[in-house]
Amino acid sequence: MNMRRRTFLVATVAAAASTQAFSPRPTRAQQRFESIFMFIPAGPGGGWDSTGRAIEQAARAAGLVGSFQFENVGGAGGMVGLPRFVNQRRGQANALIVGGSVMVGAGITNKSPITIRDVVPIARLTEEAGVVVVPPNSPHRDWASLAAAFRANPGSVPVGGGSAGGTDHIALGLILKALGRNPREASYVAFAGGGPAQAAILGGQVGAGISGYSEFAEQIKAGRMRALATTGAERIPGTDIPTLKELGVNVTAANWRGVFAAPGITPAQRQALIDLITAVHATPQWKEILAQRAWTDAFLAGDAFAAYLREDIAKTETVLKDLGLA
C-alpha cells in the first residue's frame, strides 16, 4: 500500500510541476488583472481547452494578467459545466468561461434550463469554416455534380460527420434547405469523433463528408479527400476551394469560439474584461498562436458580439427544428 501511495504522490506532484515550471514568468509592466479564473466546460486537450490555455499563454507572456486558475468540467457540449459556472461565479469580476457554436446547439437540443444566454458575451476570438469533401474515387468531381445528386434525392448520398445536431449536421441541414430539399431527408451518418469519421470517408464507406476544415486539411492536401466547397463567408486563406456563396448556395456556417463572463457583473467590470481580451488579441504572442494552430482570427467584442450571438442562436434554433432535433 505504501508503494502505491508514494507513486501516486509522485504522479500528482509531477503533473502539477509540469504546469507550473514551464509557464513563462510574468513581467508586471501593464498588468490589468491580478488573477483570472478561467472555466473550461470541456475536458483537457480539446478545442475549448486549448483556446483557454492560449489566452493564458499570450496574456502572461505580455504581462497582462498575474496568474490564471483553470477549472475543467466537461460533458454534453458544455451543458454540464455551464450551470456550474453560472451558479458558482455569479458577480465574480475576474471569471471567464470559454464557449462557442457547439454550446449554442447543445443548449437547444438538450432543452437545458441554463444556456449560453445566461452568461455575458465578452468576445468572439476564432472561427473555423466547414468543408464538404468526397472520397477521391467519388463520381462527383465538383460541387455542381454533388448538388445535383442532393437535389434529386438527398438520401442517396450518405454524408459522414460528427454527432447528430452538432455543427456538421447543422451545416448539412442548411445546405439541403438552400437546395430546396427538406433537411430531414438527409442520410446523415454520425460518427463519434474525428478519427472514425475520417476513416469512413477515406475508405469510401460514405458518399461525402462534412466537418471543420482543420479536421480534413491534411487529407485534402495529400489528395486523399476531394474538397468541393467551404461554408465560410470567404475562402480559407491558402486554399482555392470555392465557398458555397460563390457557388450560388446561400449558406454560411462557421464553428466559432469565444469567451464569456459570469452573470451579475457591472457594466464597468464587463468593460474591463472586454479591454483585457482586446489587449490579449493585440499581442504578438496571440498572432503567433493563431498561425501555429491554424486558427482563423474572428475577433468581435462587446455589443457587436452580443448581437451576433443573438442572431446565431435564432438561426441555429430554426435549423435544429427543421432537422427535427429541437
Partner 1 sequence: METLALLAGGFATALSAQNLLFAFAGCFLGTAVGVLPGIGPALTVALLLPITFKVPAASAFILFAGVYYGAMYGGSTTSILLNTPGESATIITALEGFQMAKRGRAGPALATAAIGSFVAGTIATAALTFFAPVVVELALKLGPAEYFSLMVIAFVAVSAVLGSSAVRGLTMLFLGLVFGIVGVDLQTGQPRFTFGLIELLDGIEVTIVAVGLFAVAETLHLAARHRYGEDELLPLSGSLWLTREDFVRSWKPWLRGALIGFPFGAIPAGGAELPTFFSYYIERKLARRPEEFGRGAIEGVAGPEAANNASAAGVLMPMLTLGLPTSVTAAIMLSAFQSYGIQPGPLLFQTQGELVWSMIASLYIGNAMLLVLNLPLIGLWVRVLRIPRPQLYGGILVFATIGAYGVANSVIDLAVMYAVGLVGMLMKRYDFPVAPVVIGMILGPLAEQSFRQAMTISQGDVTTFLTRPISAAFLAIAAALVLAPPVLRAYAASRARARSSP
Q: What is the DSSP letter of 64?
A: S
Kindly write out the interface string for residues 96-135 of this chain, putting x where it contacts partner 1 by CB under 8 A and - elsewhere. Answer: -------------xx-x-----------------------
Residue 222 in the binding site for partner 1 (CB under 8 A):
yes
Contact 158, 151 (CB under 8 A): no
Closest approach of partner 1 to the CB of residue 182, in Å? 16
Q: Which of 122/201 has CB closer to partner 1? A: 201
**Residues 53, 140, 177, 226: which binds partner 1 (CB under 8 A)?**
53
Q: What is the DSSP letter of 27?
A: P
Contact 294, 218 (CB under 8 A): no
Residue 239 in the binding site for partner 1 (CB under 8 A):
no
Residue 150 in the binding site for partner 1 (CB under 8 A):
no
Q: Look up residue 44 and give its three cell numbers.
A: 483537457
**Residues 35, 87, 155, 246: which binds partner 1 (CB under 8 A)?**
155
Contact 132, 210 (CB under 8 A): yes
The alpha carbon torsion through 291, 295, 297, 302 (nearest 10 deg) reads -130
Closest approach of partner 1 to the CB of residue 292, in Å? 4
Residue 224 in the binding site for partner 1 (CB under 8 A):
yes
Kindly write out the interface string for residues 25-44 of this chain, putting x where it contacts partner 1 by CB under 8 A and - elsewhere. Answer: ------------------xx
H helical segments located in the chain:
2-21, 47-61, 81-88, 101-109, 143-152, 167-178, 194-202, 213-221, 267-282, 284-293, 302-322
Residue 318 in the binding site for partner 1 (CB under 8 A):
no
Q: Look up residue 324 and give its three cell numbers.
A: 427535427
Q: Which of 57/101 has CB closer to partner 1? A: 57
Residue 74 in the binding site for partner 1 (CB under 8 A):
yes
End-to-end, the C-alpha distance of the chain in Å comes to 52
**Residues 163, 231, 243, 252: which binds partner 1 (CB under 8 A)?**
163
Closest approach of partner 1 to the CB of residue 165, in Å? 3
